Structure 1
Amino acid sequence: MAELRNCPECDAFFNYTGLREVCHNCAQKEEDLYQEVYRFLRKRENRAANVDRIVEATGVERDLLYKWVRKGRLHPAMFPNLGYPCDNCGRITNSGKLCEKCQNELKSELRTFDAAKEFRDGIEHRDRATYLSGKK
Protein backbone atom coordinates (compact mmCIF):
# COMPACT_ATOMS: atom_id res chain seq x y z
CA MET A 1 0.00 0.00 0.00
CA ALA A 2 1.25 3.48 -0.85
CA GLU A 3 2.44 5.87 1.81
CA LEU A 4 2.21 9.65 1.60
CA ARG A 5 5.67 11.28 1.81
CA ASN A 6 7.39 14.55 1.07
CA CYS A 7 9.80 14.53 -1.85
CA PRO A 8 13.34 15.09 -0.53
CA GLU A 9 14.16 17.21 -3.60
CA CYS A 10 11.19 19.59 -3.99
CA ASP A 11 9.23 18.92 -0.76
CA ALA A 12 6.03 18.07 -2.69
CA PHE A 13 3.72 15.29 -1.49
CA PHE A 14 3.78 12.00 -3.40
CA ASN A 15 2.62 8.42 -2.97
CA TYR A 16 5.67 6.38 -1.96
CA THR A 17 5.35 2.82 -3.20
CA GLY A 18 8.95 1.74 -2.65
CA LEU A 19 9.90 2.07 -6.31
CA ARG A 20 11.40 5.55 -6.18
CA GLU A 21 12.47 7.90 -3.44
CA VAL A 22 11.30 11.13 -5.13
CA CYS A 23 8.08 12.48 -6.66
CA HIS A 24 7.17 11.89 -10.30
CA ASN A 25 8.38 15.32 -11.46
CA CYS A 26 11.76 14.95 -9.76
CA ALA A 27 12.06 11.38 -11.04
CA GLN A 28 11.49 12.66 -14.58
CA LYS A 29 14.14 15.38 -14.13
CA GLU A 30 16.51 12.73 -12.78
CA GLU A 31 15.83 10.52 -15.80
CA ASP A 32 16.51 13.43 -18.17
CA LEU A 33 19.85 14.03 -16.41
CA TYR A 34 20.66 10.33 -16.66
CA GLN A 35 20.03 10.39 -20.40
CA GLU A 36 22.31 13.42 -20.74
CA VAL A 37 25.10 11.65 -18.82
CA TYR A 38 24.61 8.43 -20.78
CA ARG A 39 24.80 10.31 -24.10
CA PHE A 40 28.01 11.97 -22.88
CA LEU A 41 29.54 8.62 -21.87
CA ARG A 42 28.54 6.83 -25.08
CA LYS A 43 30.95 8.99 -27.07
CA ARG A 44 34.17 7.07 -27.52
CA GLU A 45 36.39 9.88 -26.21
CA ASN A 46 34.35 10.14 -22.98
CA ARG A 47 34.09 6.46 -22.01
CA ALA A 48 37.09 6.69 -19.71
CA ALA A 49 35.86 9.89 -18.04
CA ASN A 50 35.98 9.98 -14.26
CA VAL A 51 33.30 11.40 -11.97
CA ASP A 52 34.91 14.86 -11.83
CA ARG A 53 35.00 15.11 -15.62
CA ILE A 54 31.35 14.01 -15.94
CA VAL A 55 30.23 16.54 -13.30
CA GLU A 56 32.18 19.27 -15.08
CA ALA A 57 30.82 18.42 -18.54
CA THR A 58 27.18 17.71 -17.68
CA GLY A 59 26.54 19.62 -14.46
CA VAL A 60 25.02 16.53 -12.82
CA GLU A 61 25.52 16.23 -9.07
CA ARG A 62 28.22 13.83 -7.89
CA ASP A 63 25.82 12.04 -5.51
CA LEU A 64 23.43 11.34 -8.38
CA LEU A 65 26.24 9.72 -10.39
CA TYR A 66 27.20 7.60 -7.38
CA LYS A 67 23.57 6.54 -7.01
CA TRP A 68 23.37 5.42 -10.64
CA VAL A 69 26.61 3.43 -10.40
CA ARG A 70 25.54 1.83 -7.11
CA LYS A 71 22.16 0.85 -8.58
CA GLY A 72 23.82 -0.55 -11.71
CA ARG A 73 22.45 1.96 -14.20
CA LEU A 74 26.01 2.98 -15.14
CA HIS A 75 28.23 -0.08 -15.25
CA PRO A 76 31.90 0.23 -14.27
CA ALA A 77 32.60 -2.59 -16.74
CA MET A 78 31.56 -0.28 -19.59
CA PHE A 79 32.92 2.91 -18.00
CA PRO A 80 36.04 1.83 -16.06
CA ASN A 81 36.70 5.07 -14.16
CA LEU A 82 33.28 5.19 -12.51
CA GLY A 83 32.61 4.10 -8.95
CA TYR A 84 31.11 5.27 -5.69
CA PRO A 85 32.49 5.92 -2.21
CA CYS A 86 33.16 3.12 0.25
CA ASP A 87 30.72 3.31 3.17
CA ASN A 88 33.61 3.04 5.62
CA CYS A 89 36.51 5.16 4.35
CA GLY A 90 35.15 7.02 1.31
CA ARG A 91 37.59 5.58 -1.25
CA ILE A 92 36.08 4.87 -4.66
CA THR A 93 34.94 1.28 -5.22
CA ASN A 94 33.05 -0.53 -7.98
CA SER A 95 31.12 -3.16 -6.07
CA GLY A 96 29.65 -3.79 -2.65
CA LYS A 97 29.49 -1.30 0.16
CA LEU A 98 33.16 -1.50 1.16
CA CYS A 99 36.37 -1.05 -0.83
CA GLU A 100 38.81 -3.93 -1.04
CA LYS A 101 41.10 -2.51 1.67
CA CYS A 102 38.22 -2.17 4.16
CA GLN A 103 36.96 -5.66 3.26
CA ASN A 104 40.40 -7.14 3.96
CA GLU A 105 40.69 -5.26 7.27
CA LEU A 106 37.24 -6.48 8.32
CA LYS A 107 38.08 -10.09 7.38
CA SER A 108 41.33 -9.88 9.33
CA GLU A 109 39.52 -8.55 12.41
CA LEU A 110 36.92 -11.31 12.14
CA ARG A 111 39.65 -13.98 11.92
CA THR A 112 41.32 -12.49 15.02
CA PHE A 113 37.99 -12.43 16.86
CA ASP A 114 37.27 -16.07 15.90
CA ALA A 115 40.73 -17.18 17.04
CA ALA A 116 40.29 -15.39 20.39
CA LYS A 117 36.84 -16.96 20.83
CA GLU A 118 38.22 -20.44 20.14
CA PHE A 119 40.98 -19.79 22.67
CA ARG A 120 38.47 -18.66 25.33
CA ASP A 121 36.22 -21.65 24.60
CA GLY A 122 39.22 -23.99 24.97
CA ILE A 123 40.11 -22.50 28.35
CA GLU A 124 36.51 -22.81 29.58
CA HIS A 125 36.33 -26.42 28.41
CA ARG A 126 39.64 -27.24 30.11
CA ASP A 127 38.50 -25.64 33.37
CA ARG A 128 35.30 -27.69 33.37
CA ALA A 129 37.14 -31.01 33.16
CA THR A 130 36.09 -33.40 35.91
CA TYR A 131 38.50 -35.54 37.81
CA LEU A 132 37.63 -39.00 39.03
CA SER A 133 39.00 -40.17 42.33
CA GLY A 134 39.82 -43.81 42.72
CA LYS A 135 37.29 -44.27 45.55
CA LYS A 136 34.01 -46.13 45.09
Structure 2
Amino acid sequence: MTLNVGNCSRCGKLYAKNNIHDVCPACVKEIDKMYENVAKYLRENRGSTIQQVSEDTEVPVKQIVRFIREGRISIMNMPNLNYPCESCGEPIREGHICENCRKKLSKDYQNLTEDEKRRQQQKQQENHVSYNIKDRLQKDRF
Protein backbone atom coordinates (compact mmCIF):
# COMPACT_ATOMS: atom_id res chain seq x y z
CA MET A 1 0.00 0.00 0.00
CA THR A 2 1.44 3.37 -1.01
CA LEU A 3 0.54 6.73 0.39
CA ASN A 4 -0.52 9.25 -2.20
CA VAL A 5 1.39 12.25 -0.86
CA GLY A 6 3.53 14.89 -2.49
CA ASN A 7 5.01 18.31 -2.09
CA CYS A 8 2.89 21.34 -2.92
CA SER A 9 4.12 22.88 -6.18
CA ARG A 10 3.52 26.33 -4.74
CA CYS A 11 4.79 26.30 -1.15
CA GLY A 12 6.62 22.97 -0.93
CA LYS A 13 4.63 21.58 2.01
CA LEU A 14 3.77 17.89 2.17
CA TYR A 15 0.08 17.16 1.47
CA ALA A 16 -2.24 14.34 0.48
CA LYS A 17 -2.44 14.40 -3.33
CA ASN A 18 -5.72 14.46 -5.20
CA ASN A 19 -6.66 14.45 -8.86
CA ILE A 20 -7.97 18.02 -8.82
CA HIS A 21 -5.11 20.20 -7.54
CA ASP A 22 -1.34 19.99 -7.50
CA VAL A 23 -1.18 22.29 -4.48
CA CYS A 24 -1.95 21.85 -0.79
CA PRO A 25 -5.37 22.80 0.66
CA ALA A 26 -3.95 25.98 2.23
CA CYS A 27 -2.68 27.15 -1.17
CA VAL A 28 -6.00 26.23 -2.80
CA LYS A 29 -7.76 28.52 -0.33
CA GLU A 30 -5.24 31.29 -1.00
CA ILE A 31 -5.66 30.91 -4.78
CA ASP A 32 -9.45 30.97 -4.43
CA LYS A 33 -9.16 34.14 -2.36
CA MET A 34 -7.00 35.70 -5.11
CA TYR A 35 -9.59 34.66 -7.70
CA GLU A 36 -12.40 36.28 -5.72
CA ASN A 37 -10.39 39.53 -5.43
CA VAL A 38 -9.63 39.58 -9.16
CA ALA A 39 -13.21 38.70 -10.18
CA LYS A 40 -14.65 41.41 -7.91
CA TYR A 41 -12.15 43.97 -9.22
CA LEU A 42 -12.96 43.11 -12.85
CA ARG A 43 -16.72 43.39 -12.26
CA GLU A 44 -16.16 46.94 -11.05
CA ASN A 45 -13.36 47.90 -13.51
CA ARG A 46 -14.05 46.30 -16.90
CA GLY A 47 -11.64 48.60 -18.77
CA SER A 48 -8.56 47.63 -16.75
CA THR A 49 -5.38 46.14 -18.17
CA ILE A 50 -3.84 43.03 -16.66
CA GLN A 51 -1.07 45.13 -15.09
CA GLN A 52 -3.62 47.41 -13.42
CA VAL A 53 -5.53 44.40 -12.10
CA SER A 54 -2.31 42.88 -10.76
CA GLU A 55 -1.19 46.09 -9.08
CA ASP A 56 -4.55 46.90 -7.52
CA THR A 57 -5.35 43.37 -6.31
CA GLU A 58 -1.75 42.36 -5.51
CA VAL A 59 -2.26 39.14 -7.50
CA PRO A 60 0.67 38.23 -9.80
CA VAL A 61 0.08 38.58 -13.55
CA LYS A 62 1.05 34.92 -13.93
CA GLN A 63 -1.81 33.87 -11.63
CA ILE A 64 -4.33 36.09 -13.45
CA VAL A 65 -3.25 34.53 -16.76
CA ARG A 66 -3.72 31.10 -15.20
CA PHE A 67 -7.29 32.09 -14.19
CA ILE A 68 -7.99 33.19 -17.77
CA ARG A 69 -6.56 29.99 -19.30
CA GLU A 70 -8.47 27.81 -16.84
CA GLY A 71 -11.66 29.56 -17.95
CA ARG A 72 -12.34 30.98 -14.52
CA ILE A 73 -12.12 34.53 -15.87
CA SER A 74 -13.64 35.46 -19.22
CA ILE A 75 -12.06 38.35 -21.08
CA MET A 76 -14.80 38.52 -23.70
CA ASN A 77 -16.31 41.75 -22.32
CA MET A 78 -12.97 43.16 -21.16
CA PRO A 79 -11.53 45.11 -24.12
CA ASN A 80 -8.21 46.04 -22.49
CA LEU A 81 -7.47 42.74 -20.78
CA ASN A 82 -4.67 41.00 -22.68
CA TYR A 83 -1.94 38.67 -21.51
CA PRO A 84 1.56 38.09 -22.89
CA CYS A 85 2.48 35.52 -25.57
CA GLU A 86 4.57 32.75 -24.01
CA SER A 87 7.16 33.07 -26.76
CA CYS A 88 7.66 36.77 -27.47
CA GLY A 89 5.57 38.61 -24.86
CA GLU A 90 3.27 40.27 -27.39
CA PRO A 91 -0.23 40.93 -25.91
CA ILE A 92 -2.79 38.27 -26.92
CA ARG A 93 -6.39 37.48 -26.02
CA GLU A 94 -6.51 33.73 -26.62
CA GLY A 95 -4.26 30.69 -26.69
CA HIS A 96 -0.67 30.53 -25.54
CA ILE A 97 1.23 32.16 -28.42
CA CYS A 98 0.53 35.03 -30.82
CA GLU A 99 -0.22 34.62 -34.52
CA ASN A 100 3.31 35.62 -35.59
CA CYS A 101 4.92 33.02 -33.31
CA ARG A 102 2.39 30.42 -34.45
CA LYS A 103 3.30 31.10 -38.11
CA LYS A 104 7.03 30.96 -37.32
CA LEU A 105 6.60 27.69 -35.45
CA SER A 106 4.58 26.22 -38.31
CA LYS A 107 7.19 27.34 -40.86
CA ASP A 108 10.01 25.87 -38.75
CA TYR A 109 8.14 22.56 -38.52
CA GLN A 110 7.53 22.51 -42.26
CA ASN A 111 11.22 23.21 -42.96
CA LEU A 112 12.23 20.47 -40.55
CA THR A 113 9.99 17.88 -42.24
CA GLU A 114 11.25 18.93 -45.69
CA ASP A 115 14.87 18.60 -44.52
CA GLU A 116 14.14 15.14 -43.14
CA LYS A 117 12.56 14.07 -46.45
CA ARG A 118 15.61 15.35 -48.36
CA ARG A 119 17.96 13.42 -46.05
CA GLN A 120 15.98 10.22 -46.54
CA GLN A 121 15.94 10.66 -50.33
CA GLN A 122 19.67 11.33 -50.38
CA LYS A 123 20.31 8.26 -48.25
CA GLN A 124 18.20 6.11 -50.57
CA GLN A 125 20.05 7.43 -53.61
CA GLU A 126 23.42 6.72 -52.00
CA ASN A 127 22.35 3.17 -51.16
CA HIS A 128 21.01 2.62 -54.65
CA VAL A 129 24.19 3.90 -56.35
CA SER A 130 26.50 1.81 -54.21
CA TYR A 131 24.35 -1.25 -54.82
CA ASN A 132 24.63 -0.82 -58.59
CA ILE A 133 28.40 -0.43 -58.45
CA LYS A 134 28.69 -3.49 -56.24
CA ASP A 135 26.60 -5.53 -58.69
CA ARG A 136 28.65 -4.33 -61.63
CA LEU A 137 31.92 -5.27 -59.95
CA GLN A 138 30.65 -8.76 -59.13
CA LYS A 139 29.49 -9.31 -62.72
CA ASP A 140 32.91 -8.30 -64.08
CA ARG A 141 34.70 -10.83 -61.85
CA PHE A 142 32.79 -13.84 -63.11
TM-score range, shorter chain: 0.7 to 0.9
Alignment of 1:53 with 2:52, yes or no, is yes
Q: How many residues align?
A: 131
Q: Distance in 2 between matches of 1:20 and 1:2?
A: 17
Q: Which has the larger radius of gyration?
A: 2
Distance apart, 1:31 and its partner CA: 0.8
Amino acid at match of 1:25: A
Q: Is the 8 Å Cα contact of residues 49 and 81 (structure 1) preserved in structure 2? A: yes
The C-alpha deviation readout for 1:54-80, integer Å capped at 9, x for no partner, is: 012111122211111121211222323
| Superposition map of 1:100-119 within 5 A | 100-119=99-118
Match of 1:24 in 2: 25
Q: TM-score scaled by structure 2?
A: 0.71
Distance 1:123 1:8 in 2: 48
Cα-to-partner distance string for 1:33-92 (whole Å, 9 max, x where unaligned): 21111111112xx21211111012111122211111121211222323334433322333
What percentage of aligned pairs have identical amino acids?
25
Q: Give the 4+ runs in structure 1 shifted more than 6 A.
A: none
More helix by share: 2
Distance 1:10 1:113 in 2: 41
Partner of 2:80: 81
When structure 1 is superposed on structure 2, of 103-112 and 78-87 the one drifting more is 78-87
Q: Which amino acid aligns with 2:8?
A: C
Alpha-carbon separation, structure 2, partners of 1:122 and 1:8? 47
User: Structure 1: how far apart are the matches of 2:118 and 2:89?
Assistant: 35
Structure 2 stretches lacking a partner, 5+ long = 133-142
